[in-house]
A = this chain, B = another copy of it.
Amino acid sequence: MNPDALRGHMDALLLSVVEAGPLHGYAIIEALQERSGGALSVPTGTVYPALRRLERIGHLSSEWATVGGRKRRTYRLTDSGRRQLEGERSAWREFTSAIGSVLHPGPNSP
């Protein structure tokens, strides 16, 4: 997967995986990989800064937890993040529709 392709879609991915319930960074990376059928291998150096950014702008909140002697920073979706995710989802539909109609032109335009 070309790294640049992810640009601008990372937020949607991260918000989406924490939608069902709070998760910590490492688990988020695994969830991303699992839910994409192995297609998405996002490095830690991408995810951790991105999570902090999303927290800084208010879409996520975090708290520390210790599980089995390991410290975890657990992220959860805020109300703002939930609204943002809705927006990201409709933006994704518009985006794929726009690119798709250029890449695969046909008699399917309204």
Contacts and interface: CB of A to CB of B under 8 A. Distances in A.
B92 A99 contact: yes
Interface of A, helix, strand, loop or mixed by DSSP: helix
Copy number in the complex reads 2
A49 B101 CA distance: 23
A106 to B, nearest CB: 11
A94 B96 CA distance: 12
Nearest to A10: B4
Interface residues of A, number: 37
Contact of A7 (B4, B35, B97): B4
Interface of A: 1-9, 12-13, 16-17, 32, 35-37, 39-40, 88-89, 91-92, 94-105, 109-110
5 contacts: A1-B94, A1-B98, A2-B8, A16-B102, A37-B98
